[in-house]
Each structure stands twice: as structure tokens, then as C-alpha cells.
Homo-oligomer: A and B are copies of this chain.
Amino acid sequence: MALKHAVLAALLDGEYSGYQLAKAFDVGVANFWHALPQQLYAELTRLEAEGLVAGRQVVQETRPNKRLFHVTDEGLAELERFAAAASRPSFIRDDLLVKVQAVDRIDAAPVIAQLTERARMAAAKVEIFEQLLARLRGGLDEAEFLAHGARVGPYLTCLRGLGFERETRDWCERITGVLRERSGTPQHP
């Protein structure tokens, strides 16, 4: 039920096509939700049918035509209702953690390789988020922007994304260190 509201929240900052939304929900920028293009196109269709978003056709000459969507008053009211209702707790669900959980009983080498790769990906996201944050606060320093800026929501979710990716990066680096050490030294029960 929340992809719906994630789309509404993402559309608050202007008009987007399904294609643009899909990129935002796929690449780093999706610091508060993630979804595939097919899901987003389907969701936009439903939202339009419910009158929560409205789209307008934009005829392009050099590219296929596209439809740009924006949130209607009804859509904003729906978001308001959603925000007032209880949130379901969020959980970690990560393939890599399953592998680490089992790492004493299986070959550690591929797990170490995947941790290294994940650390690299997280580090890349950290940079993306840092740049995005700098862009969002414009010239202002952070405290000033957070106190008086007009639109801080995306900044705040981006801060969460940044913290999450930093944690991921640091944990992956630390764990690879531990596992590399262990593969060279003896363990005792």
C-alpha cells in the first residue's frame, strides 16, 4: 500500500514522467523507496484513475512522446491521511547478511568478494548523496537551511540515505578485514 504514497511523495517536487520516476526510484536518489519501472507505470495508471495524480501529454519531436504527472489536491489529501496513520516498522532484509550469518560454515572467499563489492557500491552512493545534499541546500550552511529552508523533506530523507550507506560501507570494510584475518589464522572453539 505504500508504493502509492511513495510515488505521491516523489511527485511533490514537480512534474515527472513515468520514465523519469523510474530512474529516480532505481538509482541512488531513491533514498526512501525503491521500485521497478513496471510497478511505477502501473501505479501511475491507478493513481490517475483514482484522481490522485493528473498527467499531461508532452509531444516531443526527437524523442517518443511522454506524459508528465503531478499530484492533485485529492492526492495531497491522501498523503495527509497516510502520514497520520501508523507506520509499519521497517526491517533489514539483505542477501549479504544471510551469507555473513552462515560464513563460519561455508567458503568465506565469495562472501569476502561480495562484501568488498558492496563496500564499493556504498561508498559511491555516499558520494552521490553528499553531492545531492550540497545541491539541495544551495549556498546556505546546513543548520541555516534546516531551520529556514522552504523544502527540507527530501534533504532529511537524503540524510538518512547517507547515514545508511556510510554504515553499510564501514561495516563491509570492517567485516572483510575480520574475515581476511581469520582465513589466515587458526580458530579455536
Q: Which residues of A come within 8 Å of B, CB atoms?
A: 2, 5-6, 8-10, 12, 30-34, 76, 79-80, 82-84, 86-107, 110-111, 114, 118, 121, 146-154, 156-157, 159-161, 163-164, 167, 170-171, 174-175, 178, 181-182, 185-189
Complex contacts, A101 vs chain B, CB 8 Å: 6, 9-10, 12, 32, 153-154, 156-157
Are B181's CB and A147's CB within 8 A? yes
Complex contacts, A76 vs chain B, CB 8 Å: 105-106
Residue of B with least CB distance to A83: B99
Given contacts A33-B97, A84-B107, whether A102 and B147 have CB atoms under 8 Å apart is no
A35: min CB distance to chain B, Å? 9
5 smallest beta-carbon distances between A and B, as pairs:
A32-B97, A34-B91, A87-B95, A150-B189, A90-B94
Contacts A90-B93, A152-B178, A159-B174 given; 19 further ones with Cβ under 8 A? A5-B98, A6-B101, A9-B101, A30-B92, A32-B100, A33-B98, A76-B105, A76-B106, A82-B98, A87-B94, A87-B114, A100-B153, A100-B157, A146-B178, A148-B185, A159-B171, A163-B167, A164-B164, A167-B167
- A99 to B146, alpha carbons, bound, how many Å? 17
Are B9's CB and A92's CB within 8 A? no
A187: min CB distance to chain B, Å? 5
Complex contacts, A163 vs chain B, CB 8 Å: 167, 170-171
Residue of B with least CB distance to A103: B153
Given contacts A104-B153, A164-B92, whether A148 and B188 have CB atoms under 8 Å apart is yes
A10: min CB distance to chain B, Å? 7
7 A-B Cβ contacts within 8 A?
A: A31-B92, A33-B91, A34-B93, A90-B96, A103-B152, A152-B178, A156-B178
Q: Which of the listed residues A10, A97, A104 has the most CB atoms from chain B within 10 Å of its own CB?
A: A97
